[in-house]
């Protein structure tokens, strides 16, 4: 569905083209001065410079052409060649009605839909997630929701960390505690028990125990490294334990991710591509891209245009082991070979501090021809900080577990709801808990997503759970209030009807509704969810102004009442649609 801005841009572009000028000069956007115009076109100045003509003369001809458009109420030239446009009430009325009945709430599919893999989450097996995992989870999940909504084919992969030293620590520590387990008999080849010999609580205890011992005792650390090497070499008992560790961890991870409404299509890890690594290394060697250096195999990825030093990719270290560079390259190969259709683009939603690593991997992948380097994108983000401006810690100075953060948000949401008196008296305990959880998730997700992705932000749970200000709970309450208005009107026998826009508050609200598609496409193009957040917050504010300026369900005139109820319903539809793309569910009542 074309927006008003889109229709005006097409009309202005055609007018420029008719004058022998580039149609791109016809771009129309919302006016910087809404008191003077709804939209503006600034292309006449650039067109005049390109054609060597007077900008006001060009603007005058374009304005005259636009005045003939049915949706244009007025087109006036201002300043050196700005074209101020005001659209008709009829056009606004039609647009509001279209938004209300459109499954996409006024948005339209992207013209360049792609097959995209989104790699996000990055949780580690046997390690509890912490607050640092929040951003990757909610940004990655929001991107997959938005891209799918706009027509992209998306496959999301959690890309578990399941192949490092922590696996060796777990194997050796478990052997110390339960040496009689069949997994430690090197002569036994299976079958192994289907039930895991550990719980997630065991893993949470075993890993730090082993890690602390290894820090104090080099021999203990060497033992864990040896276990990792044997596991990677295919020792059956250790591989069977690894599978148990992964299965137990994934079940626990799904609880924390589930609280945040985060989901994945694939739960693959580094271990899933281990079988590809020998062949991959040989491909680099055969292509003349790998060379030996101090016993290691490396790939030079520096370019002449580099302004900073670019270290080589470590393909195989001097001990014969492989690290993140190699497993990430093998993962790219696996995706290109196993996913149907093959990915056209891969997005990696990972902390900005890992930018160098991904630049190295992308260059190596391009050199080998796994995929074009330009089709691999690092979607970096800043850190979640405490009041001191440093990465968020607990009061004791430790890293805050994500599960604890989720519980803190839930408790704070319950307090805020109770203090604000937001719950209806007839609401039962189960429904109250469900609403509190929705408020908590809205607080956590929106507080993260509303920030420009690359910036750091200070975590303030008291502010984020507030029902006032630029918060998730505020948007929830705005949507619930609209539902309440519509429900009470229906109970009184009043239903939405044809939208007929006349008042300034109505005009402003419809113009805000019209920006949904552009906000979504902008968020997709820039991989910046905060653009959608800004639109939804502005829409909620515009509805609040409309609600305060004009009676809706209480309007005595039946036609106006039906129109305003329909306009309110259009806002509800777009708010709910947009919030769902942010992973936020709106309660029926509050």
The Cα–Cα gap between 450 and 139 comes to: 10
Query: Residues, the chain, total?
Result: 590
Give the containing element (helix H, strand E) for 486: helix 472-491
Name the region of 305 (left: φ>0; alpha: ψ -120 to 50; beta: rest).
alpha
Q: Is residue 43 part of a domain?
A: yes
Residue 287's alpha-carbon distances to 298, 367, 554, in angstroms, are 13, 9, 76
What integer pLDDT is reported at residue 47 of this predicted model? 96
Q: Is residue 366 part of a domain?
A: no
Residue where a domain terminates, one of 267, 294, 311: 267
What integer pLDDT is reported at residue 395 of this predicted model? 67
Q: Is residue 342 part of a domain?
A: no
Same domain, 569 and 423: yes
Residues of the chain falling short of pLDDT 50: none
Q: Is residue 95 part of a domain?
A: no
Same domain, 223 and 75: no
Residues 6 or more apart whose CB falls under 8 angstroms from that of 186 comprise 235, 237
User: Where in the sequence is the domain holding 50, given as residue range(s)?
Assistant: 4-87
Q: Is residue 144 part of a domain?
A: no
Same domain, 539 and 447: yes
Short-list 365, 367, 387, 391, CA closest to 377: 365
Q: How many domains does the chain have?
A: 3
Q: Tell me, what CATH number does 522's domain have?
A: 1.10.730.10
Q: Is residue 328 part of a domain?
A: no
Q: Is residue 276 part of a domain?
A: no
Residue 1 and residue 98 in contact, taking contact as beta carbons nearer than 8 Å: yes
The Cα–Cα gap between 245 and 252 comes to: 11
Sort strands 345-348 and 115-119 into parallel, antiparallel or unpaired: parallel
Same domain, 439 and 553: yes
Same domain, 424 and 510: yes
Same domain, 433 and 545: yes
Residue 118's alpha-carbon distances to 2, 126, 142, 255, 265, in angstroms, are 28, 23, 11, 21, 10
Residue where a domain terminates, one of 220, 250, 267: 267
Residue 549 and residue 505 in contact, taking contact as beta carbons nearer than 8 Å: yes
Residue 47 and residue 61 in contact, taking contact as beta carbons nearer than 8 Å: no
Residue where a domain terminates, one of 267, 285, 314: 267
Sort strands 82-87 and 72-78 into parallel, antiparallel or unpaired: antiparallel
Rounded to two decimals, the pTM is 0.94
Q: Is residue 486 part of a domain?
A: yes
Sort strands 39-41 and 82-87 into parallel, antiparallel or unpaired: antiparallel
What integer pLDDT is reported at residue 184 of this predicted model? 97
Q: Tell me, what CATH number does 52's domain have?
A: 3.30.1360.70
Q: In what order do the strands lie in the sheet containing 296-299? A: 290-293, 296-299, 313-316
């Amino acid at each position: 569905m074309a927006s008003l801005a889109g229709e005006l841009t097409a009309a202005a572009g055609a007018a420029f083209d008719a004058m022998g000028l580039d149609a791109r000069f016809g771009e129309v956007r919302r006016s910087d001065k809404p008191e003077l115009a709804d939209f503006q076109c600034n292309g006449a100045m650039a067109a005049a410079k390109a054609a060597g003509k007077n900008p006001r003369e060009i603007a005058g001809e374009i304005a005259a052409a636009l005045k003939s458009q049915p949706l244009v109420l007025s087109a006036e030239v201002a300043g050196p060649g700005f074209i101020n446009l005001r659209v008709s009430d009829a056009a606004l009325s039609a647009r509001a009605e279209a938004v209300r009945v459109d499954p996409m709430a006024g948005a339209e599919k992207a013209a360049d839909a792609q097959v995209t893999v989104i790699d996000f989450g990055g949780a580690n097996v046997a390690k509890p997630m912490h607050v640092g995992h929040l951003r990757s989870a909610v940004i990655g999940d929001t991107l997959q929701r938005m891209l799918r909504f706009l027509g992209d084919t998306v496959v999301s992969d959690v890309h578990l960390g399941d192949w490092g030293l922590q696996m060796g620590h777990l194997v050796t520590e478990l052997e110390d505690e339960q040496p009689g387990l069949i997994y430690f008999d090197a002569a036994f080849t299976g079958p192994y028990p289907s039930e895991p010999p550990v719980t997630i609580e065991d893993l949470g205890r075993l890993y730090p125990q082993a890690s602390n011992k290894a820090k104090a005792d080099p021999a203990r650390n060497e033992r864990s490294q040896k276990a990792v090497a044997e596991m990677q070499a295919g020792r059956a008992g250790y591989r069977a334990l690894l599978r148990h560790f992964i299965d137990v961890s994934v079940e626990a991870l799904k609880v924390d991710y589930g609280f945040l409404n985060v989901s994945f299509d694939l739960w693959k890890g580094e271990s899933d591509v281990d079988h590809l690594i020998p062949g991959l290394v040989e491909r680099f060697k055969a292509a003349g891209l790998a060379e030996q250096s101090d016993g290691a195999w490396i790939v030079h990825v520096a370019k002449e245009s580099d302004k900073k030093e670019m270290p080589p990719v470590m393909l195989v270290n001097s001990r014969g082991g492989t690290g993140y560079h190699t497993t990430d390259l093998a993962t790219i190969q696996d995706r290109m070979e196993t996913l149907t259709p093959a990915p056209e683009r891969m997005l990696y939603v990972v902390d900005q501090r890992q930018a160098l690593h991904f630049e190295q991997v992308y260059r190596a992948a391009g050199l080998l021809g796994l995929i074009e380097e330009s089709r691999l994108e690092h979607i970096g983000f800043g850190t979640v900080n405490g009041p001191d401006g440093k990465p968020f810690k607990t009061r004791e100075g430790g890293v805050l577990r994500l599960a604890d953060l989720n519980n803190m948000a839930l408790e704070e949401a319950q307090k805020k709801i109770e203090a604000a008196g937001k719950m209806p008296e007839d609401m039962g305990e189960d429904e109250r808990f469900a609403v509190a959880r929705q408020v908590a998730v809205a607080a956590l997700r929106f507080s993260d997503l509303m920030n420009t992705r690359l910036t750091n932000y200070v975590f303030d749970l008291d502010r984020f759970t507030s029902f006032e200000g630029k918060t998730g709970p505020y948007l929830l309450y705005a949507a619930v209030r609209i539902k309440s208005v519509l429900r009470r009107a229906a109970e009184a026998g009043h239903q939405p009807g044809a939208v007929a826009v006349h008042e300034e508050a109505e005009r402003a609200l419809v113009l805000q509704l019209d920006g949904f598609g552009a906000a979504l496409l902008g968020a997709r193009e820039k991989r910046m969810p905060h653009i959608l957040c800004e639109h939804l917050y502005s829409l909620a504010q515009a509805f609040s102004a409309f609600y305060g300026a004009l009676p809706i369900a209480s309007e005595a005139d039946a036609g106006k009442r039906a129109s305003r109820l329909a306009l309110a319903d259009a806002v509800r539809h777009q708010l709910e649609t947009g919030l769902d793309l942010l992973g936020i569910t709106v309660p029926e009542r509050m």
